Chains A and B, each alone.
Chain A
Amino acid sequence: MINGLAALVLLGAFAAVSCSRMPALVRTFAFQSIALGALAACVAYFTDSPQIYVVAVLTIGLKGFVIPRMFSQIMNRIKVEKEVDPLLSIPSSLLVSGGLAVLAYYITEPLITHGEPITRNALALSLAVVLIGFFIMISRRKAITQVVGLLIMENGLFMAAISLTYGMPLIVELGIFFDVLVAVLIMGVFAFRINNTFDSLDTSFMRRLRD
């Protein structure tokens, strides 16, 4: 069950790579976050720890609903064209992501041997999600897609935290949630300003500063 949900989170990352339009990308991110929240709820059920339930609810609420809503509002307000504009075509992006997933398994192999049995695979899966999120950030040019990439990385991290340690101390988790929310808000503000200044969300216009 837990492995299945973790795999679903990874699948979400792959689906995000294959999105060619921004609303679809945001929906995929929401779906991935809900899968992550369900995973957290399962871990909470099996280990009987109430604080992970809090994390699960927060993940589903914030990342599954609040943040995607904010994104769609931003996109409506600035009426930007909805194409993702990948630097690398979608089929080759998927190929790269596949390679990253294999790499993640390879890296974590020495660590997995002494992990907890129920979550043994989850570390490799979460590292794969982190890497794919990072890949989305560097291969997509729009400001908002970069933020979604960052959030996908963060989802991978949460999966690692939940599966490896059954969650960090609650105060730390709450703090991280708060930081993520504020970061997305601030990035949204900057996305507005970038759109006003450059008439586009395309970050490749930003080439003024160099030596």
Chain B
Amino acid sequence: MIELLLVIPVITAALCYLMNRRRAMEIVSTIGAAVLFVGVLLFVAKVLEDGPIYEGALFMDSLSAYVLLIVAFMAFIGAVYSVGYMGHEYQEKQFGLGRLRYYYTFFHIFIFTMMLVCVSNSLGIMWIAIESTTLASAFLVGFYNKDTSLEAAWKYIIICSVGITLALLGIILAYASSVSVVGESSNALDWTTLRSIADSLDKDLLRIAFVLVLVGYGTKVGLVPMHTWLPDAHSQAPTPISALLSGVLLNCAMYGILRFHIISTEALGPGFSGSLLLLFGVISMVVAAAFIIIARDVKRLLAYSSIEHMGIIAIGFGLGGPFGVYGALLHMLNHAMAKSLLFFGAGNVLLKLKTKIMEEVRGLGQHMAATAALLFIGMLALAGSPPFGLFISELSILYAAVTQGQVVVGALYLLVLVVIFAALLWHIGGMVFGTPSERVQPGEVSRLNIWVMIVLATALLVLGLVIPGPLASLLDAAASLFGGMT
């Protein structure tokens, strides 16, 4: 049955490819994404009720269901925003109908590859899916065909392919250690098999395997120092794609690491993989903070902020324990929504003022009031201020650090969060307030874009006040997969 879910984006992509009118493409793409979202909701409900679903190479447990939910939700939001954003650029004749068709087709192929990451049981197939996400999205990063977007796309595809090649070596080593226990069976590479025999796996091989996978998939997560492709790709891609890269793709790569983290925790105890995640998380946060302070381009600012938030998530999983894992899981969803909200706001500004340089944007509050307000709300949410969802998840991770006696990590974490809060307030505040440098016609570019952003802002607010029952039980179930939950 999981195949049915996977088929939806493929069909949508094929239909988009066959359409030759703009409206038709937009309708097909939006309906496809909506159907996908509903389908994922049904499957998530089934997983919550009956436990994991196993179907050969595919499977879905609570963790995959949760990440899949993020993918499908953000895909739907991104598809709706694309209608307003890409539609506007198309009307301005920035590209022709053929390019628009190409955009929607690759958009849904990209969604398909990310869903495949979440539902593959075999770690080998998961690797193939993660590599395919790079291949599918490279075309979207290079969409505008300018010299800068080509540079970004080339760096993206080369750096991520090298990283992921290292991850493949890790998977081969894990397979070698599994084969020596269960013999040459076709499911020796399945995550469920590896987990059930974790105790008897070769410890040395598994250690090297985890390091290789962490470095390899960590390249795609954007952990420092393997992050160099990320700001380029995020700033050059069309805005809806930037939001998807930040909000979903990074989470999918993190999901790949988590699967190995769980196995390695079972086999080697929580110390080894946890402390590596912690180390990379702290480095990523600190380095990202420095670049956030000096950023000039708003999309690069947001890209570095993604590196920071992936660092926070890595710290949460690295610390482990109920608060760390729960906080990190919740943060994956919160960050996806807050970052998309800000990218969409920056996208509206880009459509109207044709600039990404923050110094050139002043006094948005006067001529794009709705975008300005939502951008500011998004900034507050992203910086982790109450009453938004990110406050809860960041607090939960901080609590985990303090209760586990990781005082240095806790202090550093708090310090970086404060610095980034100030930097974001300065950068985004500067865009929203002040006086416009020249006379700009007041008004928004697209009403649809504003509605999408309102939905995201509301969801962030709701998650900050109360976590709905089904989501809470899904989070609990997903967190219980991680070891050391006492």
A residues neighboring B (CB under 8 Å): 110-111, 114, 130, 134, 137, 143, 146, 150, 153-154, 157, 160-161, 164-166, 168-169, 171-172, 175-176, 178-179, 182-183, 186-187, 190, 193-194, 197-198, 203, 206, 208-209, 211
- Evaluate contact between B57 and A182: CB separation under 8 angstroms: no
- Evaluate contact between A187 and B157: CB separation under 8 angstroms: yes
Check if B404 is an interface residue, CB within 8 A of chain A. no
Q: Write the B412-443 contact mask toward A (1 if CB under 8 angstroms, else 0).
A: 00000000000000000000000000000000
Note all chain B residues with C-beta closer than 8 A to A111.
204-205, 208
Query: Chain A's interface: helix, strand, loop or mixed, by majority?
Result: helix
Binds A, one of B16-24, B32-40, B139-147, B265-273: B139-147
Note all chain B residues with C-beta closer than 8 A to A172.
122, 124-125, 127-128, 189
Note all chain A residues with C-beta closer than 8 A to B172.
157, 160-161, 164-165, 168
In the complex, A105 Cα to B8 Cα: how many Å? 48
Q: Given A157-B168, A172-B122, A186-B138, check contact A197 B162 (CB 8 Å).
A: no
- Evaluate contact between A211 and B168: CB separation under 8 angstroms: no
Binds A, one of B230-238, B338-346, B451-459: B230-238
- Evaluate contact between A183 and B157: CB separation under 8 angstroms: yes
Check if B200 is an interface residue, CB within 8 A of chain A. no
Tally B residues with Cβ within 8 Å of A. Answer: 51
Check if B155 is an interface residue, CB within 8 A of chain A. yes
- Evaluate contact between B124 and A206: CB separation under 8 angstroms: no
- Evaluate contact between B168 and A176: CB separation under 8 angstroms: yes
Contact for B188 among A161, A169, A171, A194, CB less than 8 A: A169
In the complex, A165 Cα to B161 Cα: how many Å? 23
Within 8 A of A (CB), among B188-222: 188-189, 202, 204-205, 208
Q: Would you give 10 A-B contacts (Cβ < 8 Å), ordered by A?
A: A153-B162, A165-B172, A169-B188, A169-B189, A172-B127, A176-B168, A190-B157, A193-B142, A197-B146, A211-B296
B residues neighboring A (CB under 8 Å): 57, 122, 124-125, 127-128, 131-132, 135, 138-139, 142, 145-148, 150-155, 157-158, 161-162, 165, 168-169, 172-173, 175-176, 179, 184, 186, 188-189, 202, 204-205, 208, 231-232, 235-236, 291, 294-296, 300
Q: Given A111-B205, A183-B157, check contact A171 B131 (CB 8 Å).
A: no
- Evaluate contact between B188 and A130: CB separation under 8 angstroms: no
Q: Whose C-beta in chain B lies nearest to the C-beta of A173? A: B124
Note all chain B residues with C-beta closer than 8 A to A186.
135, 138-139, 157
Output the least CB separation between B93 and chain A (Å): 21
Q: Whose C-beta in chain B lies nearest to the C-beta of A147? A: B158
Q: Whose C-beta in chain B lies nearest to the C-beta of A167? A: B184
Output the least CB separation between A126 and chain B (Å): 9
Note all chain A residues with C-beta closer than 8 A to B173.
164
In the complex, A106 Cα to B296 Cα: how many Å? 45
- List 3 tightest A-B contacts by C-beta distance, closest first: A172-B124, A206-B151, A175-B128
Note all chain B residues with C-beta closer than 8 A to A176.
124, 127-128, 168
- Evaluate contact between A110 and B204: CB separation under 8 angstroms: yes
In the complex, A146 Cα to B260 Cα: how many Å? 29
- Evaluate contact between A209 and B148: CB separation under 8 angstroms: yes
- Evaluate contact between B165 and A169: CB separation under 8 angstroms: no
In the complex, A160 Cα to B155 Cα: how many Å? 27
Contacts A150-B162, A165-B176, A187-B158 aside, 8 further interface pairs with beta carbons under 8 A come to A161-B172, A169-B122, A169-B188, A178-B128, A186-B139, A186-B157, A187-B157, A193-B142
Note all chain B residues with C-beta closer than 8 A to A160.
169, 172
- Evaluate contact between B124 and A168: CB separation under 8 angstroms: yes
Note all chain B residues with C-beta closer than 8 A to A161.
172, 175
Q: Whose C-beta in chain B lies nearest to the C-beta of A149? A: B162
- Evaluate contact between B189 and A168: CB separation under 8 angstroms: yes
In the complex, A36 Cα to B140 Cα: how many Å? 35
Output the least CB separation between B175 and chain A (Å): 5
Note all chain B residues with C-beta closer than 8 A to A137.
158, 162
- Evaluate contact between B179 and A197: CB separation under 8 angstroms: no
Output the least CB separation between B121 and chain A (Å): 12
